A and B are shown apart, each in its own frame.
Chain A
Amino acid sequence: MSTSTAAAPPPLPATRLADTLSPRRLMWLRFRRHRLAMLGLIVVGLIYFTAAFAEFLAPMDPNRAAARYALHPPQSITWFEHGEDGLRFRPSVPFYRMERDRRTLQARFVPDPDRRIYLRLFGEGDPYRFWGLFPASRHLLAPEQPGDPLFLTGADRLGRDVLSRTIYGARISMTVGLVGVALSLFLGVGIGGLAGYYGGRVDWVVQRLTEYVISLPTIPIWMALAAAVPRDWPPLTVYFLITLIVSLIGWTELARVVRGRFLSLRTEDFVTAARIDGCSEMRIIFRHMLPSFASHIIASMTLAIPLMILAETSLSFLGLGLQPPTISWGVLLKEAQNIRSIAAAPWLFLPGAAVVVAVLALNFLGDGLRDAADPHA
C-alpha cells in the first residue's frame, strides 16, 4: 500500500472484531471467560491424566491384599526432615503399630513414634505392565523398603490401598462415560439426524420412539437390563454391556438436539444452495450441516458423560453393574455400603468424593461449552 495516502484507514470498530475471527476462535474466547468452566477443564484433564497413567501414579498394586493391614488408617506425608545439615527433602510417613484390645480383641492402629517409613520418588514397587504392554515397577511414590505399608488414604477391609484402587477405578469409571457417550452419539446423531433430515413420517416415528424412551423410569429399567447380564461373563464383556445399557437411555437427549438442528437447518439457504449444486445427501449432511452444529453436539456430549458415570456408579453400587475384581468407583463404593465399616473407616468414602469431583468438573465444563457454543442461549 502506498505510504503517500494521507489518512490511514480508521481502526476497526470493536464490534467488527467478531467478524474477523473464526467461529472456533470466538468459541474459545467465550469459553475462556467462563472461570468455572476453565477450572472444570483443568480438573477433567487431570482426572483423565491420572486414569491414563494409573499404574505409575498409584503407589501400590490395587489388588494386593494383606489381612494385617485391614482398615489401616491414612498416613500423612512429611516431606522434609530436620537433619544435621538443616532441612532436607526426605518424604516419610509414620509407621502404625497394630494393637489388640485385650477384651474385645479389636484391632487398633497406633502411630509408632520410633519408626518411620521413608519414601522415594520414582521408587521400585509392585511390578506391573504399563497399559498391559510394558513391564515396569517404578511408582511415583513408593516406600524405600518395598513391601512396607503405604496407605496415604487408608486401607479397605482386606488391607488394600484405597488410593491406588480409586486411581485404578478412575480408569473404568471415566471411560464408561466416554465409550457410553460415543455409543449415544452414534445412536443419537443417526436416529435424530434421520428424523430431522427426512421429516414427515420418519420424524413422527422417531419422535414417538424418543418420547417413549424418555418416559421410561430410567433407573428401574437400567436395573432390569443390568440384572440380565450374566454375572460369570468375562469382565470386559460385562463392561461393554453395562456401557451399552447406560447409553441405551442416554441417546435421546442427543437425538432431540440433533433433530431440532437439522429441522431448522433444512430450509437454510446454504443447504438449498448445496442441493442445487448437486451435492450428494451424504455430503450435504456431513460437509454442510454437521459442522454448523458440531459445537452443540460436543456440549451435549460433555453434559451426558457425568450422567453415564453416575449411572454406572449407581448400578455397580447396587451390585448389578460391574463386579469385583473389576475396579470402578461404584464397585468400591459398594464395599463401603455397610454403615458400620464406614463409621469405623470414613476414608472408604474416597471413591465417592472422586465421583462428585469428576461429575462436578464435567458439568462445569459442559455448561461453559454450551454457553460458548451458543451465545444466544
Chain B
Amino acid sequence: MLHFIGRRLLAMVPFLLLTSVTVFTLIQLPPGDYLSNYAAQLAESSETVDQATLENLRQRYGLGQPLPVQYLKWMGGVLQGDFGQSFEWQQPVWPLIRERLGLTLLVTLSALLFTWAVALPIGIYSAVRKYSLADYLFTFLGFVGLAVPGFLLGLLVMYVAVTWFGQSVGGLFSEQYEGAPWSLDKVLDLLAHLWIPMIVIGLSGTASLIRIMRANLLDELNKPYVETARAKGLPEWKLLLRYPVRAALNPFVSTLGWILPHLVSGSVIVAVVLNLPIAGPLLLQSLLTQDMYLAGAFLLLLCCLTVLGTLLSDILLALLDPRIRFE
C-alpha cells in the first residue's frame, strides 16, 4: 500500500511542474502587466509616480526579463512559500489566500458530502425500483439539475429569498462576525449560512452521480450471488446493502477524482454570485485587474486541490480493491 502511494506521489511531481508552467503562461498571457497599467493610471490622475518603487518591484519580480527567468524566480519563491506580492492589495499573497483557502475547502467538502448524501440513496432506490414513477421523476430532476448552471441556481435562490422571505442570503457570515475572531458563535453563524452554497454547488454533481450509482447497481443486481443470498433468506435491505451496493460503490469512489475538481471549479462562479468569501471572487477580480501573482497563486492552488482529489480517490480505490494495488 505504501509502495502504491509512494509511486502515485512520485507521478505527481512532473504533473505539478507542468501545471505550474501552464499557470505561469496563463497569467502572463494578457498584454501588458499590472505595474505598467498601474503607472499609467497614476500618470493619468497626475499623481507622482515613484519611479524608484516601481523599479524596485520590477527588479524583484524580474518583470521585463525573459519569461523563463521570470518563471524560475516565481517558482523559486513559491517553493519557499513566498507566493509573491499582490499588486492591488499591496500585501503578500499568502495571507490573502490562506483564510479563503480554508473556507474554500470547507464549502467544497460540504458540497461533496451533500452530493453523496443525496445521490447514494436516490441512486440505490432508482436501481431497485427501476422504471417506477419515482425513478422517472428522479431521472428527470437529475437532467434538470444538469441543465441549470450553478450561477443561475444561485440567482434563483437569492431571488426566492429576497421576494418571499425578504432577506438577502449572500455571504458565509452575518455582518457582525465578518472580521471577528473565531468563536463558537461565529462557527454556528457559519453553519447557518453554509447550507445554501452547499446545496447550490452540490446539486450540479448530484445528477451524474445518481446515474452512475443506478447503472452500477443495475449491473450487480442481476448477478447470481444476489440470487443466492436471496434464496438463503436474507432480508432484502440487508442483502442489498451488504453485497451489491458495496460492489457498486467501487466505480463510485473513482468518480471522486473528478467530482472534487468539478466542485472546486463550480464553486468559483457560484461564489461570485452568492458573494462567498472563498477563492472564486478574489480570483475573478485578480484576473480582471491583472494582479498576476494573486491570480497565479489561486490557479496553482486550485490545480493542486484537483490533483489532491485525484490522488485521494486513487488511494481510496486501492484500499477498496486489492486488484488495483497490485497492478
- Interface residues, chain A, with chain B CB atoms under 8 Å away: 212, 214-221, 223-225, 227-228, 230, 306, 310, 313-314, 317-320, 333, 336-337, 339-340, 342-343, 346, 349, 352, 355-357, 359-360, 363-364
Contacts and interface: CB of A to CB of B under 8 A. Distances in A.
30 contacts: A212-B15, A215-B310, A216-B22, A217-B306, A220-B268, A221-B299, A223-B283, A224-B23, A224-B26, A224-B27, A225-B29, A227-B30, A227-B288, A228-B30, A314-B269, A320-B284, A320-B288, A333-B152, A337-B273, A339-B162, A340-B162, A342-B158, A342-B159, A343-B159, A349-B155, A349-B159, A356-B144, A360-B143, A360-B147, A364-B143
Contact of A230 (B23, B31, B148, B158): B31
Given A217-B305, A360-B146, A363-B147, 16 more contacts: A215-B261, A215-B310, A216-B306, A217-B264, A217-B306, A219-B266, A220-B283, A227-B290, A230-B31, A317-B151, A317-B269, A318-B269, A346-B159, A346-B163, A355-B147, A363-B146
Contacts of B298: 220
B265 A217 contact: yes
B26 A228 contact: yes
B301 to A, nearest CB: 10
A218 B267 CA distance: 11
Given A314-B149, A317-B151, A360-B143, A220 B27 contact: no
Contacts of A356: 144, 147-148, 152
A129 to B, nearest CB: 33
A301 to B, nearest CB: 17
Contacts of B18: 212
A317 B273 CA distance: 10
A355 B283 contact: no
Interface string B108-129: 0000000000000000000000
A359 B147 contact: yes
In the A-B complex, the 7 residue pairs with the closest CB atoms: A228-B29, A227-B287, A359-B147, A219-B265, A360-B147, A224-B26, A228-B30
A120 B48 CA distance: 64
Interface residues of B, number: 50
B143 A218 contact: no
Contacts of A221: 22, 26, 299
B302 A319 contact: no
A223 B163 contact: no
Nearest to B289: A227
A352 B163 CA distance: 18
A355 B284 contact: no
Contacts of A220: 265, 268, 283, 298-299, 302-303
Interface string B69-110: 000000000000000000000000000000000000000000
B158 to A, nearest CB: 5
Nearest to A309: B149
Interface of B: 15, 18-19, 22-23, 26-27, 29-31, 143-144, 146-152, 155-156, 158-159, 162-163, 168, 258, 261-262, 264-266, 268-269, 272-273, 283-284, 287-288, 290, 295, 298-299, 302-303, 305-307, 310
Contacts of A310: 149
A313 B147 CA distance: 12
A217 B155 contact: no
Contacts of B272: 318
B153 to A, nearest CB: 10
Residue from B146, B150, B290 whose CB has the most chain A CB atoms within 10 Å: B146
A336 B158 CA distance: 12
A337 B155 contact: yes
Contacts of B149: 310, 313-314, 355
B305 A339 contact: no
A343 B265 contact: no
A223 B268 contact: yes
A216 to B, nearest CB: 6
B163 A320 contact: no
Contacts of A318: 269, 272, 284
A317 B151 CA distance: 9
A58 B31 CA distance: 39
Contacts of A225: 26, 29
A218 B303 CA distance: 10
A339 B158 contact: yes
Contacts of A337: 155, 273
Contacts of A352: 152, 155
B163 A343 contact: yes
Contacts of A230: 30-31
B71 to A, nearest CB: 16
B310 A219 contact: no
A66 to B, nearest CB: 26
A219 B143 contact: no
Nearest to A319: B288
A315 B163 CA distance: 27
A360 B306 CA distance: 28
A320 B272 CA distance: 13
Contact of B287 (A214, A216, A224): A224
Residue from B15, B26, B298 whose CB has the most chain A CB atoms within 10 Å: B26
A295 to B, nearest CB: 20
B269 A217 contact: no
Contacts of B22: 216, 221
A256 B258 CA distance: 15
Contacts of B273: 337
A230 B152 CA distance: 26
Contacts of A219: 265-266, 268-269
A220 B268 CA distance: 7
